[in-house]
Structure 1
Amino acid sequence: MNPFLPIILALSTTILPSAGTVLLSDDFSDGNRTAPAWYYAQGQAGSTLTTNGTRQNLLLDAASRNNAQVWTTFAGTTLNIGHTLSVSFNFDATGGIASADDGPFRIGFFNVGSPVNADINNGIGNPSWNGATGYGAFADIHADAAVDTSPESTLRQRTGASDTLWAGAASPVSFTTTLTPSDSSHSVGSTANLAADDLRYLVTFSLTRTGSDTMDLFYQMRDTSNNIISTMNATDGSGIVSSFNTFSVFTGTSVGQDFAIDNVVISVVPEPSSILVFALAPFLTAYRRRR
């Protein structure tokens, strides 16, 4: 009997945990936005941290401006088949959302040829955004119980040229490919004052490369009781983007208030089956040689 056979059999029947790599982690407890670095468009818009209760958050000052956009860069990552790039973070409001409030909320991963590593003090444009490709989740923030069926609630691929990363709130021309969510629900269903009630949301967004030219997208927002607030998933099956180095969050002003993000974690994880293949490879090679 080959001495490697028991090892091969044992590994093949064991579910190995996913070995992920954390690309960025920030809870802003250090009181700054420099390590890791976060950047703003609109100059002073949200250029400071804010304290919400006992927490330090990164503020997106959208109430007094047309929009608020923040981003960070991380080590360039190319997704191989079976790998997932994901982000999770807490999202909360610095004031109450009224029942009629409704506005754009967008998050996305991008590949920017020359990453923008500085604030944009005038407007939101930068030439480096022109060649940026990637994916974004477009969702509405609103406090009524109505289901949102507007085009804002979509998953999209950014392929068009624009010197603004997200372009206009109503017309994101750089996102030329809209991916129809295969399963979606978009409603908040609460008129609670988020600041007074100390409520916050957990947002997740992930990209999983499932084939040579297929990418699965997933977006979800949950409340503190783990109830699903909104969710979307879709598949890009043509001309996928597979390399990324920038993460961004965008909010609009129609909600009439500011927002903040906290506990941001960006990671890349190979699926367990791919780990198993790499784990078995040396034993399989040795097994074949002994045969």
Structure 2
Amino acid sequence: MRPDNLTASTNFILLGLFSASLSSLVSFSFLVGTFIVTLMENTLMILLIRRDPCLHTPMYFLLSHLSFMDILHVSNIVPKVIADFLSGSRAISFAGCGTQVFLSLTLLGSECLLLAAMSCDRYVAICHPLRYPVLMSERVSVLLAAGCWLVGALNATVHTGLALHFPFCHSRAIDHFFCEVPAMLKLSCADTSRYEQGVDVSAVIFLLIPLSMICASYVQILLTVLQMKSLEARKKAFSTCSFHMVVVLMYYGPFIFTYMRPKSYHTPGQDKLLAIFYTIVTPTLNPVIYSFRNKDVLTAMKNLLRGSFPYKK
């Protein structure tokens, strides 16, 4: 069925990420492998944090929420991409598309706020260690995590309702691998300029402000580290901060570029490439950068393995 014939139906067509070629088969296999690795490492991270008492701290509590968000994020998008490639059917219902938009916006917005909360946690821990138990108590960390989820969900509810309310008078073929608002707006025959202004406001709240907080926190952390006498401590802090900033920029950069441009400047190939970074790449890298390079996490993993496979003489 041609996409042009679906304008009177309630379905959309996702043109997808792959074509029928050998190179696409290789890319598809890589995507499946990445999806499995992302699920395994984030699930392991949550399991380690829950089982090991040494990881029952605000930092790891926030990290467990980050891992859970990443699991939901890839599960919201990648299985549909895999199913479409294997079945050859690229149709998605109006309700299914709305669900993808809502979950995607909720998780993207919540993760932006959570990354800012995590950077503030590190700032307090390194720059104000004596006040850390008071400023980052268990109650505060729970409120931060709940606030990230709640604000992200409220923003997603508003934008999903408005985006799906526009009339789609032309082809319902979305040139993307999942239902994303900028790609859907290109199909609308209504004036979406006022809605795009609302998107810009949300982008400032969820992207620019959190990114500014993260940068400010790491600048203060680096200034504090420079005053340390231990060269080993400096190297470790610089290494950790640099890796964290790389992941943050890989997440926020494409996200900002996608949601803060007018729809006339969007191209399908560019949007797909940018979306891969914040929907697939960063959920895979987050556990490695934020957790598995940490001695406490590695110790917890060793304890888990010893408990699962006890040594016998």
* TM-score relative to the length of structure 2: 0.25
- Higher RCO (C-alpha 8 Å, min separation 6): 1
Report the structure, 1 or 2, having the larger strand content.
1
